[in-house]
């Protein structure tokens, strides 16, 4: 394999190494190679390409890749202002915002926030090290396997419209796995699908990631669903039912129980759903929020709907269930113990009252009955277990006789 230096860039088959690293990092190694479709580039020849980048051999060759942070540094660009000045114009979003510079060339960016995060370039050598590890040792957490907890169609589908960040998709997948929402659908994800960044962010929710389907159009993603609701934080001038998450889940449970398939639509990270997309839903879901700060992170919104779905489900448990941990129910956790019997409690009360009498605690005989009642009420309210009653009696005995049994 020959890496060539062309116009100050390290290239393979006239393709900058950063492009190769990017493709294999954003997708799986095999999916990246397929997308690149470069003659002579396969898993075997990919390793030296990655090694060249991972070991920063470009420094010795005095070359840099487009989009790499090393190039930005080599050009002396140290601030966002410097970066903007290097261009003739930077077009933001739909073009209503344009940043003018004194350099050459035009650049487009979806949002100022995205530009702020990416202007300095990517650490491609770090990406190369990650891909190299996957190439040699396999995909991170690939051994983790989960299973859907319900048959297909018996849980709501989660539909993400044009998700922008793979990390957000991964966090959504994790929320879906937390609350038993097994059907994840993506409409035109910006960075393509499958995506390795999403798998990493899913933190082990691999089965949701592996089963997630990508669709080219909104209609295709909803084609087999009978009823869908759209989430939004903005009021729309549409004559539709407006539901809370609790009400939306109740409606979906009723419909799914009748054999229908349901889904919840979530919008883009930047600006949510367009009104024409909301118009095609059967209902609108609005989450109770602080009216002055109503925008939710995508995964948080999914998490809230998922929580409502799981809350009254038969599959719901408090916390995890493992070989050593059993399912819990709300209320006082007693483990293998039970509340003390009346005989155990009476024995403790008589013991305590006898020793208090000996120590002169009941200084007023006529008030003794009410003080005794108060003491018993206090301990009964605590609902001690049998073991706790034994501990209390041991405390009383130690306080009266002293440690070691000597008289006090």
Q: Tens digits of per-residue pLDDT, 90-131?
A: 999 888 899 999 988 899 998 888 888 889 999 999 999 988
Three-class DSSP category at 208: helix
Distance of CA 169 to the CA centre of its chain: 9
Q: Select 157-311's CATH number: 3.40.1280.10, 3.30.70.260, 3.75.10.10, 3.10.20.30.
A: 3.40.1280.10
Write the pLDDT tens digit of every residue in 47-78. 999 999 999 999 999 999 999 999 999 989 99
State mean pLDDT over 282-290: 94
Confidence class for position 151, pLDDT limits 50, 70, 90: confident
pLDDT at 168 over 90: yes
Q: What is the pLDDT of residue 118?
A: 86
pLDDT at 111: 85
More reliable by pLDDT, 151 or 33: 33
Cα–Cα distances in angstroms (integers) from residue 99 to residues 92, 104, 231, in the given order: 8, 13, 33
How large is the average pLDDT for residues 215-222? 94
Query: What is the percentage of the chain residues whose pLDDT exceeds 70?
Result: 91
Q: Bigger pLDDT: 348 or 404?
A: 348
- Cα 20 from Cα 141, distance rounded (Å): 23
How far is Cα 242 from Cα 256, in angstroms, rounded to an integer? 20
Q: Rounded CA gap, 123 and 220, in Å?
A: 37
Full-model pTM: 0.59
Tell me how far apart the 2 most distant CA atoms of the chain are, in Å.
Answer: 104
pLDDT at 136 over 90: no
User: What is residue 92's three-state secondary structure?
Assistant: strand
Per-residue model confidence (pLDDT) at position 328: 62
Domain 342-401 annotated CATH 3.30.300: no
**For all residues of the chain together, what is the average pLDDT?**
88
φ, ψ for residue 262 (rounded to 5)?
A: -125, 160
Q: Do residues 265 and 228 touch, judged by C-beta distance below 8 A?
A: yes
Give the model confidence (pLDDT) of 300-325 as tens digits. Answer: 999 999 999 988 776 656 565 555 55
Q: What integer is the mean pLDDT of 265-271?
A: 92
Q: Per-residue pLDDT tens for 320-342?
A: 555 555 666 666 777 778 899 99
pLDDT at 322: 56
**pLDDT tens digits for 182-199?**
899 999 999 888 888 888
DSSP state letters, 361-392? ----GGGHHHHHHHHHHHHHHH--BHHHHHHH
The confidence score (pLDDT) of residue 194 equals 85
**403, HSE (Cβ side, Cα atoms, 13 Å):** 0
Long-range (24+ apart) CB contacts under 8 A made by 332-338 are: 332/383, 334/385, 337/385, 337/386, 337/387, 338/385, 338/386
């Amino acid at each position: 394999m020959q890496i060539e230096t062309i116009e100050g860039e390290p290239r393979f088959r006239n393709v900058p190494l950063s492009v190769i690293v990017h493709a294999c990092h954003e997708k799986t190694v095999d999916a990246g190679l397929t997308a690149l479709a470069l003659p002579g580039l396969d898993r075997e020849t990919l390793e030296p390409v990655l090694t060249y980048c991972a070991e920063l051999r470009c420094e010795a060759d005095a070359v840099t890749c487009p989009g790499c942070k090393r190039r930005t540094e080599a050009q002396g660009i140290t601030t966002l202002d410097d970066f903007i000045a290097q261009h003739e114009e930077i077009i933001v979003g739909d073009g209503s915002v344009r940043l003018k510079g004194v350099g050459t060339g035009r650049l487009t960016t979806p949002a100022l926030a995205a530009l702020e995060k990416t202007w300095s370039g990517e650490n491609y050598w770090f990406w190369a090290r990650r891909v190299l590890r996957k190439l040699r040792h396999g995909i991170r957490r690939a051994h983790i396997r989960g299973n859907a907890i319900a048959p297909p169609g018996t849980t709501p589908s989660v539909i993400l419209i044009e998700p922008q960040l793979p990390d957000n998709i991964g966090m959504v997948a994790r929320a879906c796995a937390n609350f038993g929402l097994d059907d994840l659908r993506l409409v035109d994800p910006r960075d393509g699908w499958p995506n390795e960044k999403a798998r990493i962010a899913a933190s082990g929710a691999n089965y949701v990631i592996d089963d997630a389907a990508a669709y080219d159009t909104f209609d295709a993603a909803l084609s087999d669903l009978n009823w869908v609701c759209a989430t939004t934080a903005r009021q729309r001038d549409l004559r539709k039912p407006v539901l809370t998450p609790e009400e939306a889940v109740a409606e979906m449970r009723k419909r799914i129980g009748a054999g229908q398939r349901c889904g919840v639509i979530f919008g883009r990270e930047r600006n949510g759903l367009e009104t024409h997309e909301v118009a095609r839903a059967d209902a609108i879901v609005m989450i109770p929020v602080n009216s002055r700060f109503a925008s939710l992170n995508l995964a948080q919104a999914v998490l809230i709907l998922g929580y409502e779905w799981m809350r009254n489900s038969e599959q719901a448990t408090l916390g995890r269930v493992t070989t050593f941990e059993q399912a819990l129910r709300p209320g006082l956790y007693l483990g293998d113990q039970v509340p003390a019997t009346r005989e155990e409690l009476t024995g403790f009360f008589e013991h305590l009252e006898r020793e208090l009498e000996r120590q002169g605690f009941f200084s007023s005989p006529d008030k003794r009955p009410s003080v005794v009642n108060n003491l018993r009420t206090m301990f009964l309210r605590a609902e001690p277990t049998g073991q706790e009653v034994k501990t209390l009696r041991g405390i009383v005995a130690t306080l009266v006789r002293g440690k070691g049994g000597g008289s006090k």
